[in-house]
Copies of this chain bind each other. A is one copy, B any other.
Amino acid sequence: MGDVFDYLSPTNPVFRTFAFWSSVLVIKVLFMSIATGLRKHTSKAPKAKNEVNEDVERLRRAHLNDMENIFLFIILGFIYIVTNPSQWLAMMLIKAFAITRILHTLVYAFAPVPQPTRVILFLMGVAVNAYMGLSVIRAFL
């Protein structure tokens, strides 16, 4: 093991957890992507043109923001795994990120709650990404 350990392989439990949750998040993005596309069409008829844009734009921004965070997470995850992090910590970060993003989508799309909730979920995701990024920087400085 040690230096020749293959981090990006099914034999690494951290990679398995990462692969599973990354795929769950990507499936979520695909659903939101199709939902955004459908909303664009269904909301066209009844409203004035400017209102439609406002509405669709809001959904599109949420979708972009969601993707941005998830892409950063998956890209960083690949690198972070190779720094040989604590298995327990890495798995907890991966699950925490996935859960905050799923809750963020639920809160945004289905159950609008008073604002601090969504911002807190967003910032928790950012915090996981920032922690993984800084860990890699420290490891390979």
Contacts and interface: CB of A to CB of B under 8 A. Distances in A.
A84 B16 CA distance: 13
A11 interface: yes
A113 interface: no
Interface residues of A, number: 47
Contacts of A29: 68, 72
Number of copies: 3
Contacts of A83: 10, 19
The prevalent SS among residues of A at the interface is: helix
Contacts of A3: 9-11
A108 interface: no
Contacts of A126: 30, 33-34
A55 interface: no
Interface of A: 3-11, 15-17, 19-20, 22-24, 26-27, 29-30, 33-34, 64, 67-68, 71-72, 74-76, 78-79, 82-84, 126, 129-130, 132-134, 136-137, 139-141
